[in-house]
């Protein structure tokens, strides 16, 4: 089972103690290990394999793939190298799983995936594998984006290939960034902020006059969030990470409110909003005072 296989052995004290039959020796080289990984997945999907694994398709494990990518990001944020090692393996499992299903459908296999990746990396690094030269990370990134843009221009719209399963803030960022490649963009974040204010006013009008019109309200709030991403992007801020940091900050402060209420012998649900807000403000002041 994808998630079950992924999480098997993640309990406390399991890492470093596995010597069960079938575990490859540490001296095995990466090529042999990779081939074994591919074969293990083929066996799991084979006639005598796991009923759950055999029943899956690309759509059914799509969410698992997204979740595993986020767990990798979480391990990075936690600066936990042991967890990162494990989560990268879980993410690799998803790649192997999808490639195996595609192979069974005679669409492509993991060799094709790796071959295409090697080709892409070489083509997009002409300063390493060719004659071009760049001196800074910024120049290298600009060259990468230019090559990607040229690749897209050969196949159709700049918007083709957007990863629609991305979180919406990231999706908005990528769509805006692609449009910016041909100059369809604000020149300054202040101008984008003015647009954000316009969108805020439009949401306010709907809330005051027609808040029961959920479709219109959703559309206007969507425009508001899209405009906010524009401000963040043009300011050099990752909107997805900024929001994640704000959520973490909110959770930390809310837990602090719970702690204060508990020490005061109060039930949070029975406290007034003004009481909770007073505690919230004192927590914020404390954060600012102590940095």
For residue range 1-34, what is the model confidence (pLDDT) as tens digits?
A: 545 454 443 433 334 444 455 666 666 789 999 9
**Per-residue model confidence (pLDDT) at position 2:** 47
Q: 102, 123, 144: which is the final residue of a domain? A: 123
pLDDT at 291: 56
Q: Is residue 132 included in any domain, yes or no? A: no
Q: Write down the pLDDT at residue 13.
A: 37
- Position 134 in a domain: no
Average pLDDT over residues 221-228: 97
pLDDT digits (tens, 9 = 90+) for 128-165: 998 888 889 989 988 888 887 777 666 678 888 888 88
Residue 67 maps to a domain: yes
Is residue 150, in this structure, part of any structural domain at all?
A: no
Do 45 and 12 belong together in one domain? Answer: yes
77: Cβ contacts below 8 Å, ≥ 6 apart: none
Q: What's 29's domain CATH number?
A: 1.10.287.1080
What confidence score (pLDDT) does residue 153 get?
A: 65
On whether residue 281 sits in a domain, the answer given is: yes
Give yes or no: residues 45 and 70 share one domain: yes
Are residues 282 and 227 part of one domain? no
pLDDT: is 288 or 79 the higher one?
Answer: 79
Ranking 12-26, 92-106, 151-165, 168-182 by mean pLDDT, the lowest is 12-26
Asked if 97 and 40 sit in the same domain, the reply is: yes
Predicted local confidence at residue 148, as pLDDT: 78
**245: nearest Cα among 85, 96, 77, 71:** 77
What is the pLDDT, as a whole number, of residue 29? Answer: 87
Neighbours of 262 (CB within 10 A): 11
| Residue 17, domain extent | 2-123
Give the pTM: 0.62
CA distances (Å), origin 157, targets 63, 147, 178, 204: 27, 15, 10, 35
Whether 119 and 68 share a structural domain:
yes
Listed residue (175, 179, 165, 173) closest to 240, CA to CA: 173
Residue 256 located in a structural domain: yes
User: How many domains does the chain contain in total?
Assistant: 3
Over residues 86-104, the mean pLDDT reads 97
Query: What is the pLDDT at residue 23?
Result: 64
Average pLDDT value over all residues in the chain: 88
CA–CA gap between residue 5 and residue 64 (Å, rounded): 12
Q: Quick one: 194 and 273 in the same domain?
A: no
């Amino acid at each position: 089972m994808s998630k079950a296989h992924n999480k098997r052995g993640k309990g406390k004290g399991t890492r470093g103690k596995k010597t069960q039959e079938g575990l490859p020796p540490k001296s095995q080289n990466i090529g042999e290990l990779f081939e074994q990984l591919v074969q293990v997945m083929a066996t799991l999907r084979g006639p005598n394999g796991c009923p759950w694994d055999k029943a899956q398709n690309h759509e059914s494990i799509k969410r698992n793939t997204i979740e595993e990518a986020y767990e990798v990001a979480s391990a990075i944020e936690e600066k936990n190298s042991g967890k990162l090692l494990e989560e990268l393996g879980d993410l690799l499992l998803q790649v192997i799983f999808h490639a195996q299903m595609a192979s069974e459908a005679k669409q492509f296999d993991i060799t094709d995936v790796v071959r295409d990746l090697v080709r892409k990396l070489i083509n997009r690094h002409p300063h390493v594998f060719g004659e071009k030269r760049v001196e800074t990370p910024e120049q290298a990134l600009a060259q990468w984006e230019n090559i990607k843009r040229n690749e897209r221009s050969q196949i159709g719209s700049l918007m083709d290939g957007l990863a629609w399963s991305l979180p919406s803030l990231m999706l908005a960022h990528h769509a805006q960034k692609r449009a910016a490649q041909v100059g369809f963009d604000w020149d300054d974040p202040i101008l984008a902020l003015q647009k954000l204010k316009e969108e805020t006013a439009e949401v306010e009008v709907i809330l005051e006059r027609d808040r029961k019109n959920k479709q219109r309200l959703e559309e206007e709030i969507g425009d508001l969030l899209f405009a906010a991403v524009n401000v963040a992007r043009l300011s050099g801020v990752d909107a997805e990470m900024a929001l994640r940091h704000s959520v973490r900050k909110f959770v930390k402060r809310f837990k602090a409110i719970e702690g204060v209420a508990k020490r005061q012998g109060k039930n949070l649900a029975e406290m007034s909003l003004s009481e909770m807000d007073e505690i919230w403000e004192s927590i914020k002041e404390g954060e600012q005072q102590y940095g």
